[in-house]
Amino acid sequence: MSSHKTVSRPCAADKIRSSARDLFYNQGIRAVGVDEIVQRAGVTKPSLYRAFDSKDGLTAAYLADYQQTFWDRIDAICHDHPDDPRAQLLAYFDDLARRAAQPGYRGCALTNAIIEYPEPEQPVRQEAARLKQEIREWVRKKVCTLPIDDPDLVTDGLILLMEGTYTGGQVFLSPGPAAQAGKLARLLLDTPHQS
């Protein structure tokens, strides 16, 4: 008698999330309509509205998924460099430099969302900005554990480097300035700073 393994098939909501993630990241949130998402996912429009209520609800899920990818990357880095905040920061920037130098790199989904939605009260922009603040806080906590005179200045420098890399990776042909993010992070962390 043969045994049959149950193969888990993605549900409509998972298909929609996956399709939206690809389309939103590569084409932009505002450029992609609900019809295109459901067509790509191979589901019906009512399936989208049952799972997410609206395109904004799906967009919030997309941003949360993107942020989870960031935290998964950070967890792996922290696992590889336990109890070494400097190495964790540098590993992040080395990885960012590698990713930003790849063809087709589209930067940070959160940054892109903030640029797409310039209205300060727009919910998508507010959520992206809130998630960005979580990232800044992670960087700040790591920097504050290091023997640095002005951790706020270094944190700001690393955040500006991060944001510049997200954009520079899209603007300049590979490898471009974004490929230098790891080296620049070392300069920021190793340069003596005065308060």
- What would the DSSP string read from start to end of 67-118? HHHHHHHHHHHHHHSTT-HHHHHHHHHHHHHHHHTSTT----HHHHHHHH--
Average pLDDT over residues 173-190: 92
The model's confidence at residue 195, banded by pLDDT at 50, 70 and 90, is very low
| pLDDT > 90 fraction of the chain, expressed in percent and rounded | 82
* Average pLDDT across the chain, whole number: 91
Domain residue spans of the chain: 10-53, 60-190
Say yes or no to pLDDT of 96 above 60: yes
- What gap in Å lies between CA 70 and CA 193, rounded to an integer? 29
Instruction: Give the closest residue to 71 by CA, choosing from 127, 134, 20.
Output: 134
Its pTM stands at 0.86
What pLDDT, in 10s, does the model give residues 134-174?
Answer: 999 999 999 999 999 899 999 999 999 999 999 999 998 88
The model's confidence at residue 194, banded by pLDDT at 50, 70 and 90, is very low
Say yes or no to pLDDT of 192 above 60: yes
Q: What is the CATH number of domain 10-53?
A: 1.10.10.60
Contact partners, residue 170, CB within 8 Å, separation at least 6: 105, 106, 107
What pLDDT, in 10s, does the model give residues 119-143?
Answer: 999 999 999 999 999 999 999 999 9
| pLDDT > 70 fraction of the chain, expressed in percent and rounded | 93
Q: What is the CATH number of domain 60-190?
A: 1.10.357.10
Please give the structure tokens belonging to residue 6: 């149950």
